[in-house]
Amino acid sequence: MTLTITENNFDELVLTSSKPVLLEFWASWCGPCSMIGPSIDQAAKDFAATVTVGKVNVDTEEELCDRYHITHIPTLAVFCDGKLIEQRIGAMPYKELAVWLTSLNQEA
Protein backbone atom coordinates (compact mmCIF):
# COMPACT_ATOMS: atom_id res chain seq x y z
CA MET A 1 0.00 0.00 0.00
CA THR A 2 1.29 3.44 -0.91
CA LEU A 3 1.12 5.82 2.05
CA THR A 4 0.18 9.48 1.86
CA ILE A 5 2.95 11.36 3.63
CA THR A 6 2.31 14.76 5.20
CA GLU A 7 4.17 17.05 7.56
CA ASN A 8 1.96 15.62 10.34
CA ASN A 9 2.95 11.97 9.84
CA PHE A 10 6.43 12.36 8.29
CA ASP A 11 8.45 11.75 11.47
CA GLU A 12 6.41 8.70 12.44
CA LEU A 13 6.20 7.04 9.01
CA VAL A 14 9.53 8.06 7.48
CA LEU A 15 12.15 9.12 10.00
CA THR A 16 11.46 6.38 12.55
CA SER A 17 10.74 3.58 10.06
CA SER A 18 12.61 0.33 10.62
CA LYS A 19 12.69 -0.20 6.84
CA PRO A 20 14.04 1.97 4.03
CA VAL A 21 11.40 4.45 2.81
CA LEU A 22 10.87 5.44 -0.83
CA LEU A 23 9.02 8.72 -1.30
CA GLU A 24 7.69 10.13 -4.53
CA PHE A 25 7.34 13.91 -4.49
CA TRP A 26 4.57 14.58 -7.02
CA ALA A 27 1.74 16.85 -8.16
CA SER A 28 -1.56 16.12 -9.89
CA TRP A 29 -0.70 18.46 -12.79
CA CYS A 30 2.68 16.77 -13.46
CA GLY A 31 2.66 14.52 -16.54
CA PRO A 32 5.77 12.47 -15.63
CA CYS A 33 4.33 12.01 -12.11
CA SER A 34 1.23 10.45 -13.66
CA MET A 35 3.45 8.16 -15.72
CA ILE A 36 5.45 6.86 -12.75
CA GLY A 37 2.50 6.68 -10.33
CA PRO A 38 1.45 3.12 -11.27
CA SER A 39 5.07 1.94 -10.91
CA ILE A 40 5.26 3.46 -7.43
CA ASP A 41 2.01 1.72 -6.45
CA GLN A 42 3.28 -1.59 -7.86
CA ALA A 43 6.56 -1.22 -5.96
CA ALA A 44 4.59 -0.65 -2.75
CA LYS A 45 2.96 -4.05 -3.28
CA ASP A 46 6.01 -5.95 -4.53
CA PHE A 47 8.42 -4.62 -1.90
CA ALA A 48 5.99 -4.32 1.04
CA ALA A 49 8.07 -6.64 3.21
CA THR A 50 11.28 -4.66 2.80
CA VAL A 51 10.49 -1.05 1.80
CA THR A 52 7.87 1.45 2.91
CA VAL A 53 6.54 3.47 -0.04
CA GLY A 54 4.82 6.82 0.19
CA LYS A 55 3.85 9.88 -1.82
CA VAL A 56 4.25 13.54 -0.92
CA ASN A 57 2.02 16.06 -2.71
CA VAL A 58 4.24 19.08 -3.40
CA ASP A 59 1.25 21.41 -3.64
CA THR A 60 0.12 20.72 -0.08
CA GLU A 61 3.42 19.83 1.63
CA GLU A 62 5.60 22.82 0.80
CA GLU A 63 7.46 22.65 4.11
CA LEU A 64 8.68 19.10 3.43
CA CYS A 65 9.72 20.13 -0.08
CA ASP A 66 11.70 23.06 1.31
CA ARG A 67 13.32 20.93 4.01
CA TYR A 68 14.62 18.42 1.45
CA HIS A 69 15.28 20.91 -1.36
CA ILE A 70 12.76 19.40 -3.78
CA THR A 71 12.80 21.64 -6.84
CA HIS A 72 11.81 19.20 -9.61
CA ILE A 73 9.10 16.56 -9.85
CA PRO A 74 8.81 13.72 -9.81
CA THR A 75 11.62 13.31 -7.31
CA LEU A 76 12.16 9.91 -5.75
CA ALA A 77 13.87 10.06 -2.36
CA VAL A 78 15.06 7.21 -0.19
CA PHE A 79 15.40 7.49 3.57
CA CYS A 80 17.22 4.98 5.77
CA ASP A 81 17.58 5.22 9.53
CA GLY A 82 15.98 8.66 9.49
CA LYS A 83 18.35 10.11 6.89
CA LEU A 84 17.92 11.01 3.25
CA ILE A 85 20.41 8.77 1.45
CA GLU A 86 19.56 9.14 -2.22
CA GLN A 87 17.41 11.16 -4.62
CA ARG A 88 16.57 10.67 -8.27
CA ILE A 89 14.72 13.15 -10.43
CA GLY A 90 12.33 12.09 -13.18
CA ALA A 91 10.18 9.13 -14.10
CA MET A 92 11.71 5.70 -14.56
CA PRO A 93 10.34 2.39 -15.82
CA TYR A 94 9.20 -0.12 -13.21
CA LYS A 95 12.08 -2.47 -14.03
CA GLU A 96 14.64 0.23 -13.21
CA LEU A 97 12.77 1.14 -10.03
CA ALA A 98 12.71 -2.51 -8.93
CA VAL A 99 16.46 -2.88 -9.51
CA TRP A 100 17.08 0.27 -7.46
CA LEU A 101 14.89 -0.92 -4.58
CA THR A 102 16.54 -4.34 -4.63
CA SER A 103 19.98 -2.72 -4.41
CA LEU A 104 18.83 -0.65 -1.43
CA ASN A 105 17.83 -3.79 0.42
CA GLN A 106 21.23 -5.32 -0.24
CA GLU A 107 22.95 -2.22 1.16
CA ALA A 108 20.67 -1.90 4.21
CATH superfamily of 3-101: Glutaredoxin (3.40.30.10)
33 is an active site residue: yes
Give buried/exposed letters for 12-43 (b at 16+ CB in 10 A, else e): ebbeebebbbbbbbbeeebeebeebbebbeeb
Label residue 108 by pLDDT band (50, 70, 90): low
79 has pLDDT over 80? yes
Q: Which of 21, 30, 70, 78 is catalytic?
A: 30
Q: Catalytic residue among 22, 23, 33, 36, which?
A: 33
Domain boundaries, the chain: 3-101
Band (8; pLDDT cuts 50, 70, 90): very high
Terminal-residue alpha carbon distance, the chain: 21
